[in-house]
């Protein structure tokens, strides 16, 4: 979701400079893709931390962090859990 917010702020800044109107359809697609990436990151975070027997409070905290930094969390998950010795893929 941070990626989407950064993109939106950048786009708004560029639109102010250009003062041009572009269609709103791409914003909906970008939001949906970013939201789905964040949801996948939350699911992976929750499942991995459940297998590692992390308490519920920390699982919620890690899930929030995974939601906010979805793409970065998925890259972290790839290197630490799939390629490393972590909890592995689902």
Q: Please report the pLDDT score of residue 12 as a whole number.
A: 67
What band does 14 get if pLDDT is binned at 50, 70 and 90?
low
Q: What is the pLDDT of residues 28-67, one digit of tens each?
A: 888 888 899 999 999 999 998 998 889 999 999 999 999 9
The secondary structure of the chain, three-state, reads CHHHHHHHHHHHHHHHHHCCCCCCHHHHHHHHHHHHHHHHHHHHHHHHHHHCCCCHHHHHHHHHHHHHCHHHHHHHHHHHHHCCCCCCCC
Q: Please report the pLDDT score of residue 30 as a whole number.
A: 81
- Tell whether the model's pLDDT for residue 80 goes beyond 60: yes
């Amino acid at each position: 979701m941070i990626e989407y917010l950064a993109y939106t702020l950048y786009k708004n800044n560029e639109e102010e400079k250009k003062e041009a109107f572009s269609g709103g359809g791409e914003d909906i697609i970008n939001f949906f893709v970013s939201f789905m990436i964040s949801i996948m990151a939350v699911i992976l975070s929750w499942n991995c931390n459940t297998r590692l027997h992390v308490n519920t409070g920390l699982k919620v905290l890690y899930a929030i962090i995974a939601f906010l930094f979805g793409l970065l969390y998925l890259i972290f998950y790839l290197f630490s859990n799939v390629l490393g010795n972590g909890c592995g893929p689902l």
